Amino acid sequence: MHEISIRPDTDDEAQLALLGSPVGALGSGYARYSAAMYFYQLGQISAELLEVYRKCCKFDDEDPTAMAVHEQLRN
């Protein structure tokens, strides 16, 4: 769906792992949203995609990737 560049010697890898938190896992919605905010602040994802993660953050069972595909967002 979207490409994120990992920079050496940063928290990027840890944040990318959080962004990919399993749908349905307890607290995963907020973990994904916080990671999305991290990458948004770096200019790695769009405001529209960040909004998808925001909409899904309260619901651990909501898949932001599926919602972004449904809304035809790229990045």
The length of the chain, given as a count of residues: 75
Predicted structure pTM score: 0.88
User: What pLDDT, on a 0 to 100 scale, did the predictor assign at position 57?
Assistant: 95
3 Cα distance to chain centroid = 11
CA dihedral 26, 30, 34, 37 (to 10 degrees): 140
Average pLDDT over residues 34-62: 95
The pLDDT > 70 percentage for the chain reads 95
pLDDT tens track for 52-67: 999 999 999 999 999 8
* Band (74; pLDDT cuts 50, 70, 90): low
Q: Which residue has the tokens 């790695």?
A: 44
